[in-house]
């Protein structure tokens, strides 16, 4: 019996603060608890079965909130907005933004990932008018898919929770608008910084692949500290994200969500599903919820 208790204590320690994606939010006047789970946009839906208590938590809540309402992303109007935000101004192409040497470095990156580059007219037509940030985002996804097959863009882990809510006639909401996400993800950086970061990917493919792999491993291990550590990995040069960029992409958004969450949870017990990188750290959502007076507990079974 003592050995069994010791083993259980070790398991609880291993799956405690550092190894948990699902958290219960209670106290501070809430009549019923709400929950928050950290997601990864390229994780398979089947991973939901690996998170202890997730389906019970989802079933016990009356509405689901994500970063945005996923169904709205595919409306013709919003698809047009996203496509427009990803494109350079009329008459401009990537090869006009970069020198011949810089384009050679970008073409080497494309060759490695796609097996073809912008000397191929079809590739140039498809990718040549993208902004550097849009191309950077697309290539990051393709680099992941090279080593992680089976991803279904029609069945995303982010969207799973909202689809489940809709199927059960529960309300679905978003903490941000589509327009806000478009502006943040595609228009939040100057063109010069976008140009620099695309070259950073081209010149440091091994580092970027290793960083992505470390984030993925930490996510599937449900290790929030590991996710934060991997996201904050540095090369100690200008390719590293700046504090202002982290504020724009993570910290400021967390602070805005915390302003909304109390009213949402007071209205109905809510299941929140947001990127796992938003949960850990002193400025993470979990710490901010605690500072706001809520009890935040990992779900252990």
Structure tokens belonging to residue 286: 């979990």
Other beta carbons less than 10 A from residue 94's beta carbon: 21
The rounded distance, in Å, linking the Cα atoms of 248 and 183 is: 11
Strands 270-275 and 63-66: parallel
User: Residue 14 has what pLDDT?
Assistant: 37
Q: Looking at the predicted structure, is the pLDDT value of residue 150 above 80?
A: no
Question: Are 228 and 27 within 8 A, CB to CB?
Answer: no
Question: What predicted TM-score, i.e. pTM, was given to this entire model?
Answer: 0.90
pLDDT greater at residue 263 or residue 143: 263
The rounded distance, in Å, linking the Cα atoms of 220 and 38 is: 11
User: Residue 173 has what pLDDT?
Assistant: 97
Q: Which of 1, 17, 13, 81 is nearest to 227 (CA)?
A: 17
Q: Looking at the predicted structure, is the pLDDT value of residue 8 above 60?
A: no
Question: Are 273 and 161 within 8 A, CB to CB?
Answer: yes
Phi and psi torsions of 248, nearest 5°: -65, -45
pLDDT greater at residue 66 or residue 42: 66
Q: Looking at the predicted structure, is the pLDDT value of residue 170 above 90?
A: yes
pLDDT in tens, 11-55: 333 334 446 999 999 999 999 999 999 999 889 899 999 999 999
Where would I find the H helices in 204-282? 205-220, 224-231, 243-246, 252-267
* DSSP letter assigned to residue 153: T
Give 74's contacts (C-beta < 8 A, 6+ positions apart): none
Q: Looking at the predicted structure, is the pLDDT value of residue 211 above 80?
A: yes
Tell me what the mean pLDDT of segment 121-129 comes to: 93
Other beta carbons less than 10 A from residue 204's beta carbon: 15
Other beta carbons less than 10 A from residue 178's beta carbon: 18
Widest distance between CA atoms in the chain:
74
Residues 22, 25, 31: CA angle, nearest 5 degrees: 140
pLDDT in tens, 238-271: 999 999 999 999 999 999 999 999 999 999 999 9
The rounded distance, in Å, linking the Cα atoms of 123 and 106 is: 13
């Amino acid at each position: 019996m003592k050995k069994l208790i010791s083993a259980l204590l070790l398991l609880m320690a291993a799956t405690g603060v550092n190894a948990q994606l699902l958290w219960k939010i209670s106290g501070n006047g809430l009549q019923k608890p709400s929950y928050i789970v950290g997601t990864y946009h390229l994780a398979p839906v089947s991973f939901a079965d690996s998170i202890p208590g997730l389906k019970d938590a989802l079933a016990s809540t009356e509405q689901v909130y994500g970063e945005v309402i996923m169904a709205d992303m595919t409306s013709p109007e919003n698809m047009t907005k996203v496509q427009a935000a990803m494109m350079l101004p009329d008459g401009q192409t990537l090869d006009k933004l970069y020198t011949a040497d810089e384009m050679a470095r970008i073409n080497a990156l494309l060759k490695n990932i796609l097996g073809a580059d912008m000397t191929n007219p079809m590739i140039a037509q498809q990718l040549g008018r993208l902004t550097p940030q849009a191309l950077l985002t697309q290539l990051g996804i393709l680099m992941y898919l090279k080593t992680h097959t089976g991803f279904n863009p029609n069945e995303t882990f982010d969207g799973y929770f909202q689809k489940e809510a809709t199927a059960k006639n529960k309300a679905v909401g978003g903490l941000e608008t589509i327009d806000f996400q478009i502006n943040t993800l595609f228009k939040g950086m100057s063109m010069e910084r976008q140009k620099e970061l695309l070259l950073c990917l081209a010149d440091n493919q091994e580092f970027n692949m290793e960083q992505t792999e470390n984030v993925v491993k930490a996510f599937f291990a449900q290790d929030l500290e590991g996710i934060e550590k991997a996201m904050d990995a540095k090369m100690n040069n200008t390719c590293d994200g700046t504090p202002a960029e982290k504020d724009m992409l993570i910290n400021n958004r967390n602070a805005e969500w915390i302003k909304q969450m109390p009213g949402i949870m007071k209205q109905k017990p809510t299941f929140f599903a947001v990127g796992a990188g938003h949960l850990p750290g002193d400025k993470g959502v979990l710490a901010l919820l605690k500072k706001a007076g809520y009890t935040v507990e990992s779900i252990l079974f």
